[in-house]
Chain A
Amino acid sequence: MSACTRCHGQLEHGDLRCAICALPAISLAATERQDRAKVLRCTDCNAAIAFSPAVQAPRCAFCGATMAIEQLVDPLEVAEVRLPFTVDRAAAEASLRGWLGNRGWFAPSALRDEAVLESLTPLCWAGWVVSAQATVAWTADSDEGAKRSAWAPHAGKVPMRFESIVVPASRGLTLDECRKLIPYYDLRRTEPVGDDFVESFDAQRSAARVHVQRGIEATARTRVEPHIPGRRYRNIRVACLLQGQTTQRVALPAWVLAYRYRGAAYRAIVHGQRPEVVFGAAPTNWTRVALVVLGALAVVAAIITFFATR
């Protein structure tokens, strides 16, 4: 794989320009040419042909043949490697049961025993794993040095190394669900992609750059926080100059569970590598909620009465 000469980011096969800094990645072949006029000929009937916008290729007006030319490559992104599942089906189900039994007093007490597991699907969700060196310029308002206003402006510049930032591109999981899973993956061990349960990316290659850029900026915004003087801050803005960015398309394992409790369906997610990471929706025992609310109201009423009658 070659690298861009300006930003040292990796170039992919078929890239005409660098995806990060837009430096052209092709050079013109210096061919021996003489000054003369030529016509483009139909490969079928040898007539002179012209480019047709409708088919985005030269088309012969006489025989209707279309000449094959280099077409734009903008494939859907596809995972290159995946992280292995270390939580198997039984363990995923067990951790769901454990989680259901641990939902607290507001959840129905029969939840653990009566919940019916409807489906337990292994899902390799799609994401980019990005590493890059960056210089991050930032501005923010903070309480440090504030005078009459509660805020004072600050600015700075810090070098940062982004190591294996996961930027989600999942169709099946929400961004929020992905964010909860990301911190618990072991990104060092990868295996080749099989054809099973691997999700396709929710982006084409040309759109990937914007997603990845936003992901890095979001990470940079959190990472500059310790560099901002003061205790409170707002309006954090960052501008990143990325160098040597490498991007890997990875499939990350998770178990998606659907369970049913007394007629209603709920969804929960179990991490594919750490069985203790479980989250999702659980039913609420409204009778207990009502009891607590009534109890609280009764206590408040009692206190008011107590003070009012003194």
Chain B
Amino acid sequence: MRFECGQCGAALSFEGVRTQTCPYCASPSFVERPASSSRPDPVFTVAFAGDAQWARAHLDRWIGRRMIIADSALKNGSVDELRGIYLPAFLYSAVARTDYTASIGEHYTETETYTKTADDGTKTTETRQVTRTEFRPLAGVHLGYITDVVVSASAGLDHPTFARIEPFELRQLRRHSPALVSGFIQEEFSREADECLRVSRGAAIDEVGEEVRRFMPGDSHADLHWSTKVEWESLDPVLVPVWVFALRYRGDRPPLRVVVNGQTGKIAGKLPLSWWKILLLVLGAAAIVTVIVLLILHLREPPP
């Protein structure tokens, strides 16, 4: 998809994106296009909370905290690529009606008799109080609205990775406008709404599961099974801000890819570990434990 730059007329390629910065005049352009089912218009946008330096500071702090086990070369890594992307996503909400069955544990105390053998071999009978649990079946319903499920609609970022930089503060949701995305990359929707609906339902049912767990009475519960019917679903296209880093730290290794939540600074990435550091750490810990155990054994030994 090629369009002319809105400022200087140079030809710009908009492949998978809705915004582009002109390499000649540095003007940020955005594409106006009629919405279609595979390329919906965003309804809401969560705006970036900070600029590239803000994102870099969060990344440095994240790496710094993990330096004790991370590859030392990261310290002198250089940022190959740093992009602020408005990621396409879907915001899901629904009414959830859940039927559940569970086994509810209720504690009770019982007096138990046991035989105690003293050091000299004499046996005495004593009693003690023990807590036991009685399990009773329970079946019922749970009701509620599921409100803030967000799933990635970008083919480049799968939902598990996306879930690691969640949550986004949705109270800051704004009505979408090109003014919010100008100068950043707005990625085009690249996952089908049907697929996103399926993923959303899965996430919603997991969320209901958490709530049903908290809903259970008794002192404990087991064998919780629930089936949720969702009604009145809504699925709306939204844009959420993420920073994508490629950090080159060794010439012979692929760069470290990190995704940063552009609103909260939460980070997801697979940090290269230094096995030497971990080995030393484990050995050090083992040494400390050994010393403590030896000390205890030594102190418990009766003096000669």
Contacts of B245 in A (CB 8 A): none
Inter-subunit contact A22/B93 (CB<8 Å): yes
Given contact pairs A23-B93, A24-B44, A40 touches B174 in the complex (Cβ within 8 A): no
Is there contact, CB below 8 Å, between A37 and B6? yes
Number of cross-chain contacts by CB at 8 Å: 191
Residues of A within 8 A of B210 (CB): none
Asked whether, in the complex, the Cβ of B32 is within 8 Å of the Cβ of A35, the reply is yes
Cβ contacts A7-37/B at 8 Å (1 or 0 each): 1000000001100111110101000011111
Q: Which residue of A lies closest to B5 (CB)?
A: A37
A154 vs B139: C-alpha distance when bound (angstroms)? 8
With contact pairs A33-B33, A37-B6, A57-B179 given, residues A70 and B140 touching in the complex (Cβ less than 8 Å): no
B: interface residue count bin: 35 or more
Chain B residues with CB under 8 Å of A48's CB are 6-7, 25-29
Cβ of A16 and Cβ of B171 under 8 Å apart?
no
Do A7 and B145 contact each other (CB < 8 Å), given the known contacts A35-B31, A72-B172, A153-B217? Answer: yes
A21 and B145: CB pair below 8 A? yes
Among residues of B, the one whose C-beta sits closest to the C-beta of A153 is: B104
By a CB distance below 8 angstroms, the chain A residues around B4 are: 36-37
Nearest CB of chain A from residue B99's CB, rounded to whole Å: 10
Complex: A48 Cα to B28 Cα, angstroms = 7
Chain B, residues 139-155, CB within 8 Å of chain A (1/0): the string is: 11111110110000000
Stretch among A83-91, A122-130, A137-145 lining the B interface: A137-145
**Partner-binding segment picked from A232-240, A264-272, A282-290:** A232-240
Contacts of B236 in A (CB 8 A): 24
- A37 adjacent to B28 (CB under 8 Å): no
A45 in the interface (beta carbon within 8 A): no
Residues of B contacting A156 in the complex (Cβ-Cβ under 8 angstroms): 140
The distance in angstroms between the C-alpha atoms of A69 and B95, with both chains bound, is 33
Beyond A21-B95, A26-B175, A33-B34, whether A151 also contacts B28 by CB under 8 A is no
Could you tell me the distance between the alpha carbons of A131 and B126 in the complex, rounded to whole angstroms?
A: 60
Chain B nearest CB: distance from A228 CB in Å? 10
Report Cα–Cα, A164/B34, bound state, in Å.
Answer: 47
**Do A149 and B134 touch (CB < 8 A)?**
yes
Assembled-state Cα–Cα distance A33/B36 (Å):
12
Contacts of B28 in A (CB 8 A): 39-40, 48-50
Residue in chain A with minimal CB distance to B214? A237
Partner of B136, one of A58, A72, A153: A153
- The answer, yes or no, to whether B30 is at the interface (CB within 8 Å) is yes
Q: Which residue on chain B has the smallest CB distance to residue A69?
A: B179
One of A7, A57, A239 near B211 (C-beta < 8 A): A239
Q: Which positions 205-227 of chain B face chain A at CB distance < 8 Å? A: 211, 214-218
Residues of B contacting A240 in the complex (Cβ-Cβ under 8 angstroms): 143-144
Q: How far is the CB of B3 from chain A (nearest CB, A)?
A: 4
Query: In the complex, which residue of chain A has the Cβ closest to the Cβ of B34?
Result: A33
Decide if A148 is an interface residue (CB 8 Å cutoff). yes
Cα distance, A20 to B184, chains bound together (Å): 33
- Contact A241/B144 with A16-B174, A37-B14, A72-B172 known, Cβ cut-off 8 Å: yes
Of A17, A49, A140, A146, the most chain B CB neighbours within 10 A belong to A17
- Residues of B within 8 Å of A304, CB to CB, are none
Query: 25 A-B pairs, CB-CB below 8 angstroms?
Result: A21-B232, A24-B236, A34-B32, A37-B4, A37-B6, A37-B29, A38-B31, A39-B7, A40-B179, A48-B6, A48-B29, A53-B51, A53-B54, A56-B47, A67-B179, A72-B174, A137-B142, A139-B217, A149-B106, A149-B107, A150-B106, A157-B140, A206-B171, A239-B142, A239-B144
Apart from A40-B179, A51-B182, what 18 extra A-B contacts exist at CB < 8 Å?
A: A16-B44, A22-B145, A22-B147, A24-B236, A36-B31, A51-B180, A53-B50, A53-B54, A57-B179, A69-B177, A135-B143, A137-B143, A139-B217, A148-B108, A153-B106, A155-B141, A206-B171, A240-B144
Residues of A within 8 A of B (CB): 6-7, 16-17, 20-24, 26, 28, 33-40, 48-54, 56-58, 67, 69-70, 72, 74, 135, 137, 139-141, 146-157, 206, 235, 237, 239-241
